Structure 1
Amino acid sequence: MIIEYKKIELFGKIFIQKIDLKPPFEYTFPVSEQACFLYMLKGEMQYQFEGDQIHIPTNYSLLLNCINSGQQIRESNANNNNETVIVTFHPDILKKIYEKDLPLLFQPGRKVTNQSVGKINNDFLIQKYIEGLLFYFENPSLVNDEILILKLKEIILLLSQTREAETIQVILSQLFSPAVYTFKQIIEAHLFSQIGVEELAEKANLSVSSFKREFRKLYNDSPANYLKSKRLERAAELLLISDQRITDIAFDCGFNDLANFTRSFHDKYGVTPTNYRVKRSNKQ
């Protein structure tokens, strides 16, 4: 459950976030062209990927390339609240501020791999950097684009000087390498977007009929039924782990009509979204 959420934007995109969470919580990363630096300010979390997991304690951090993501974080201690700071790297913003002179950290190195996640050990300078970001969350009137550009360049410099610099370079350089998305990555990237089968087929560069055939081969279900089921499952999770309004949850999960969402939710779970949240809260 989200207790408090703050964000700072740069050039119209989310740059820094501070999220205070109370268990139970979990978050599945979508496939997208960005990388995220997650710093565990308080508490601890588990990052789960490909049948494995990484434990991230207080003052440790994780660098994640979301191009190859679709993975998940969740609490590792149900008794403690968690505070996380997230710094997001957007390729278009990086190109804008560095023009044609991208730092070495974003250029392919000698190590060739598709590694998309790396744990960064407790680093004193990064810890001090995060403390500096907290000041701007408390004093938002002092924030401007010039300061944020400096903070973006600063974290890139600090990451390049950590013991994990080689791994970090491998992960971040993928942001500027041609990405070939698989069929499944395209589906996972748009599970909760308000787009239909026709648009998904277009993104997969297939006709609608070919898209439906390929989809059934991989998922053993029709696109419409699978998408609705996954969106309802995600909505059910959000009803339990967040205090968002039901209208916002419906929208975030790909439904643009509240009445349709409520009807579909009732058909699947036997209760309205409101009653689902109340009954589960009472049981807990």
Structure 2
Amino acid sequence: MNVYDLHKANPDIFKQFSIKDILFLYYHCPQKEKIIKLHSPYNQLTFSISGRRIFHQGEHTYTVNKNSGFLLRRAAFLQEMDDAFKGWELMAFYLKDEFLKKIFNEFRPHLPLRDIPPPPNEMVIPMDVNNRIRDCYLSLIPYFNQSDSLPEEILIIKLKELLYNVFINPKNNHILSYVNNLANGYEVPIWEVMEANYMYNLKLSEYAQLANRSLSSFKREFEEFYSTTPGKWILEKRLERAKRFIRTSQKTISEIAFECGFKNVSHFSRIFKEKIKFSPTEYRDKA
């Protein structure tokens, strides 16, 4: 599910302001299912005001508690509801690359760019939220609750202030490094996107979107790098992941099918037996 499209299409559930390349959101998460599978085509800056969610992205797991936050790169992920904290109040901002580059370059003379670390490879980048950052995003809540129209310039100024405080926090120098890389023209390699996201049931056009490429460019670069088609490579990677889970975990076959990107358990079982020559259950018995 494209979480950006979901948010934008439901302003009655997700309070929002939309300005050019930016979507501002403030809402209480309506999630009902224990785990949902989502993907975001844009950078997403998220601040947890109360409650908790657990995010699984590739091989990594992140717990987002009250007064914490993260920067989600274009990526697919699982969002898990904690039984002890079913409610989740949050504020989020979808920021396209060009906007982030523009703001970064505007602030560049004032940013601590010496000795920043290499940019992180992870799709979810945890953020330190200090009092200045918290005060910035909490000050936006009254605007979401007013019925009168609001000058766009006010929202842009507030967002710039928020981003500036994220950038100058020394504990967020990994985020500063990521945005600096974007501003310097870095293009995420195909392999980095695919290794982090192959286990999610996405269309090729959606993988291309995560890689910030047209579908034709994505296919061409993919085949140049992997010397095979995306479909063949993705299936092989999902089956290898499934075999590993069957051998080493107590997950049910249904859970494994879900976490490896197959449409459903019957589709998974059919493909697994066709390629591996054993059903998933038989393979587990032999392990």
When the two structures are superposed, what TM-score results if normalisation uses the length of structure 2? 0.59
Are 1:28 and 2:41 matched, yes or no? no
In structure 2, list runs of 5 or more residues that go unmatched. 1-5, 209-213, 237-263, 268-287
What is the CA–CA distance in structure 1 between the aligned matches of 2:132 and 2:171, rounded to whole Å? 14
Contact map agreement 2:119 2:175 (CA 8 A) in 1: no
What is the CA–CA distance in structure 1 between the aligned matches of 2:112 and 2:175, rounded to whole Å? 9
User: Residues 193 and 115 from structure 1, CA distance in 2 versus in 1: closer, same or farther, beyond 3 angstroms?
Assistant: closer
Shift of 1:123: 2.0
2:96 aligned residue = 90
User: Residues 92 and 195 from structure 1, CA distance in 2 versus in 1: closer, same or farther, beyond 3 angstroms?
Assistant: closer
Are 1:139 and 2:146 matched, yes or no? yes
User: Residues 142 and 189 from structure 1, CA distance in 2 versus in 1: closer, same or farther, beyond 3 angstroms?
Assistant: farther
2:61 aligned residue = 53
What is the CA–CA distance in structure 2 between the aligned matches of 1:27 and 1:161, rounded to whole Å? 33
1:279 aligned residue = none
Are 1:154 and 2:161 matched, yes or no? yes
User: Residues 170 and 96 from structure 1, CA distance in 2 versus in 1: closer, same or farther, beyond 3 angstroms?
Assistant: closer
SS at match of 2:220: coil
Q: 2:127 aligns with which of 115, 120, 123?
A: 120
What is the CA–CA distance in structure 1 between the aligned matches of 2:201 and 2:215, rounded to whole Å? 10
Structure 1 runs, 4 residues or longer, greater than 6 Å off: 186-190
Shift of 1:95: 4.7
What is the CA–CA distance in structure 1 between the aligned matches of 2:221 and 2:119, rounded to whole Å? 29
In structure 1, list runs of 5 or more residues that go unmatched. 222-264, 269-284
Are 1:43 and 2:51 matched, yes or no? yes
What is the CA–CA distance in structure 2 between the aligned matches of 1:180 and 1:204, rounded to whole Å? 15
1:250 aligned residue = none
1:65-114 deviation digits (Å, cap 9, x = unpaired): 22xx333332223652112210233232345567x545365979642243
Higher RCO (Cα < 8 Å, 6 or more apart): 1
Contact map agreement 2:46 2:69 (CA 8 A) in 1: yes
SS at match of 1:137: helix
What is the CA–CA distance in structure 1 between the aligned matches of 2:66 and 2:83, rounded to whole Å? 12
Shift of 1:44: 0.3
When the two structures are superposed, what TM-score results if normalisation uses the length of structure 1? 0.60
**% same residue:** 15
User: Residues 16 and 59 from structure 1, CA distance in 2 versus in 1: closer, same or farther, beyond 3 angstroms?
Assistant: same
Q: What is the identity, as a one-letter code, of the residue corresponding to 1:65?
A: R
What is the CA–CA distance in structure 2 between the aligned matches of 1:180 and 1:121, rounded to whole Å? 24
Are 1:65 and 2:73 matched, yes or no? yes
What is the CA–CA distance in structure 1 between the aligned matches of 2:64 and 2:103, rounded to whole Å? 31
What is the CA–CA distance in structure 2 between the aligned matches of 1:44 and 1:65, rounded to whole Å? 20
1:260 aligned residue = none
Contact map agreement 2:101 2:182 (CA 8 A) in 1: no
Are 1:167 and 2:174 matched, yes or no? yes
Q: What is the identity, as a one-letter code, of the residue corresponding to 1:128?
A: D
User: Residues 101 and 207 from structure 1, CA distance in 2 versus in 1: closer, same or farther, beyond 3 angstroms?
Assistant: closer
SS at match of 1:141: coil
1:167-211 deviation digits (Å, cap 9, x = unpaired): 221222233332144166498797285999xx7345423799xx9
1:218 aligned residue = 233
Q: Choose 15-24 or 143-152, whichever is displaced more.
A: 15-24
Contact map agreement 1:49 1:72 (CA 8 A) in 2: yes
* Root mean square deviation, CA, Å: 4.1
Are 1:9 and 2:15 matched, yes or no? no
Number of residue pairs matched by the alignment: 216
